Amino acid sequence: MKWFDAVDVIGVSGYYDVGTKDDTSLQGMLQRWKPVREMLHKVSIKFKKPLLLIEIGVRSASKCSTMPWDYDHTEFPYDGEEQANFYESAFQTFWNEPWFLGFCWWDWQVNLPDRESGKPDTSFGIYGKPAEDVLHKWYEKPHSTITSPATMK
């Protein structure tokens, strides 16, 4: 790829299925993120460029971490814990990696749902859901210092 030397950052979509039909726990997701992290780290090393997950997220619906790209199955019941586990596992997996730049979370809604309605929203949005607390917690912490591309290992 002759043009790739002009790129400053490697952008990758982060819709990895880290949940399974039998396990959407935080610990299970952390284990399934490991090979993804290793693969992305190898890409970063190969091209000596930091990596950004340019689109990542999961709906707050049951079993959606098994297919985080899905937006069609609106019949799945609300599961805010599974969504929060996905976000928490992604942060724990990548936050302190010196080759990792960050996350671009999908989807930030323009029209926010009514927190008081009592109707669980199963969209990608995190407003008023446990995943919102996960983001608050992590973005209060300092992020790792990005390694210079010339010295990436």
Is residue 119 a part of any domain in this protein? Answer: yes
Is residue 149 over pLDDT 70? Answer: no
Assess if residue 1 is contained within a domain.
no
Whether 3 is covered by a domain: the verdict is no
Section 139-153 average pLDDT: 69
CATH code (residue 104): 3.20.20.80
Residue 2 in domain = no
From the CA atom positions of the chain, what is the Rg in Å? 16
Those residues with Cβ within 8 angstroms of residue 51's Cβ, 6 or more apart along the chain or in another chain: 9, 10, 11, 12, 40, 43, 44, 99, 100, 101
Q: Is residue 143 part of a domain?
A: yes
- Range(s) of the domain holding residue 136: 8-151
Per-residue model confidence as pLDDT tens digits over 33-51: 999 999 999 999 999 999 9
Tens-place pLDDT, residues 11-23: 999 999 999 999 9
CB 102 within 8 A of CB 26: no
Query: What pLDDT, in 10s, does the model give residues 76-132?
Result: 999 999 999 999 999 999 999 999 999 999 988 888 877 776 567 899 999 989 999
Instruction: Specify if 68 maps to a domain.
Output: yes
Q: The pTM is what?
A: 0.91
Q: How confident is the model at residue 153 (pLDDT cuts 50, 70, 90)?
A: low
Domain count along the chain: 1
For residue 147, being part of any structural domain is answered with yes
